[in-house]
């Protein structure tokens, strides 16, 4: 059970995804990684061995969709999210329903193959 008395919103800005369907490229997380810079202070964990398929790009970076775990960002509401990376660094999240980008406060290097 969590505690939230008021409604807080995830800050995102609209962005355009340039799809790269069936790119064949993907990331594998070598070691479980906790991301603490997500919106509203909620942490998220990228699971060890999880695979993330490159599905396209937005101006902020490449977009990777999870193959075997669910990723969301949340404040009062919850949004499905994909990773946005520049090289091996995670810079934020892409919200596929809202077609928006949520920036991490600070980019973090991902433990990938």
- Residues lying near other proteins in the complex (CB under 8 A) are found at 1-7, 69-70, 72, 74, 76-80, 95-98
Q: How far is the CB of 45 from other proteins (least distance, A)?
A: 11
Q: Which two tokens stand for residue 102?
A: 């949520």
User: Which residue number, 54 or 107, has a Cβ lying nearer to other proteins?
Assistant: 54
User: Which residue number, 95 or 107, has a Cβ lying nearer to other proteins?
Assistant: 95
Q: How far is the CB of 113 from other proteins (least distance, A)?
A: 22
Q: What does the alpha-carbon distance between residue 23 and residue 53 come to, in Å, rounded to a whole number? A: 8
Q: How far is the CB of 56 from other proteins (least distance, A)?
A: 14
User: Which residue number, 65 or 110, has a Cβ lying nearer to other proteins?
Assistant: 65
Q: How far is the CB of 40 from other proteins (least distance, A)?
A: 13
Q: Which two tokens stand for residue 93?
A: 């999240």
What does the DSSP 8-state code read for residue 39? G
Q: What does the alpha-carbon distance between residue 20 and residue 61 come to, in Å, rounded to a whole number? A: 13
Instruction: Give CA angle at 77 (64, 75), nearest 5°.
Output: 80
Helix (H, G, I), strand (E, B) or coil at 37: coil
């Amino acid at each position: 059970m969590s505690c939230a008395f008021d409604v807080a919103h995830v800050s995102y800005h609209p962005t355009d995804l340039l799809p790269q369907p069936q790119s064949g490229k993907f990331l594998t997380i070598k070691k479980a990684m906790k991301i603490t810079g997500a919106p509203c202070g909620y942490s998220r964990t990228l699971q060890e061995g999880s695979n993330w398929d490159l599905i396209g790009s937005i101006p902020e970076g490449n977009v990777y969709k999870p193959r075997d775990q669910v990723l969301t960002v949340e404040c009062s509401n919850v949004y499905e999210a994909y990773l946005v990376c520049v090289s091996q660094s995670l810079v934020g999240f892409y919200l596929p329903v809202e077609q928006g980008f949520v920036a991490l406060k600070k980019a973090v290097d991902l433990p990938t193959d």
